[in-house]
Amino acid sequence: MKAPRRLVISTLLMPLLSACAFAASAPAPATYTPYPTYTPPPTYTPYPTYTPYPSPTQTFLPSATSTPTITPTPNPTPTATATPFAGWETILAFGANLRAGPGLEYPVIAMRNAGEPLTIWARDISGRWMLVEMADGLRAWVAVTQIGSVPDLGLIPPASETPTLAPTSGGG
């Protein structure tokens, strides 16, 4: 009878002892942490303030003075004086034929390379040809398309004399 009693006691104590061991190894239950509540920042509410008006002060009036009379001074009228054209210095943009007159029908008197300096002195009536002077003193006509930079054509005076072509005989 002793054996069944031990069996009963051990079966009863076993769950109790195992429950104690299980309870000791289990983590502690989590505690609730509340979130902070949002508090909006305070807003500024302006209040009107009292500003006193400035106290009146005495205003001094100027004494009467005599007004001077204005005598007109005669001004001479300015006269426009024409400044002579001093030439426009530039370079040849491309190799060019220097001609005896403004046009392809005039003979070529020299050939020059791109980059050579020149001075523009006059233009033909159409503005397509310029009378130029090269660095060696040669004066000839060059097509405006061959020149590096050309000012406004209104600044360049027209040529006073344009060479005339000699009549050619025969055709062909």
| Number of other CB atoms surrounding residue 121 within 10 Å | 17
- The reported pTM is 0.50
- Residue 141 in any domain: the answer is yes
- Residue 51 in any domain: the answer is no
Residue 172 is predicted with a pLDDT of 45
- Residue 123 in any domain: the answer is yes
Sheet holding 129-134, edge to edge: 88-91, 117-123, 129-134, 139-143, 96-99, 108-112
Residue 155 is predicted with a pLDDT of 86
The b-or-e profile of 8-22 (16+ CB within 10 A means b, else e) is eeeeeeeeeeeeeee
Give the residue numbers spanning the domain of 124.
Answer: 88-155
- Residue 31 in any domain: the answer is no
Cα–Cα nearest to 100, from 145, 133, 70, 140: 140
- What's the sign of the alpha-carbon dihedral 5, 8, 11, 16? negative
Residue 136 is predicted with a pLDDT of 93
Integer Cα distance of 132 and 130 in angstroms: 6
CB–CB of 108/99 below 8 Å? Answer: yes
| DSSP letter assigned to residue 9 | H
- Residue 44 in any domain: the answer is no
Integer Cα distance of 135 and 138 in angstroms: 7
- Residue 33 in any domain: the answer is no
CB–CB of 156/123 below 8 Å? Answer: yes
Name the residue with tokens 């902070």: 36
Domain count, the chain: 1
Task: Give the CATH number for residue 137.
Answer: 2.30.30.40
Write out the chain's pLDDT in tens, 172 residues: 556 677 777 777 676 666 555 555 566 777 888 888 888 888 777 777 777 777 777 777 777 777 777 777 777 777 767 667 778 888 998 899 999 999 999 999 999 999 999 999 999 988 899 999 999 999 999 999 999 888 888 888 898 888 887 765 544 4
- Residue 160 in any domain: the answer is no
Integer Cα distance of 3 and 1 in angstroms: 5
- Residue 20 in any domain: the answer is no
**What is the identity of the amino acid at 48?**
P
Residue 152 is predicted with a pLDDT of 82
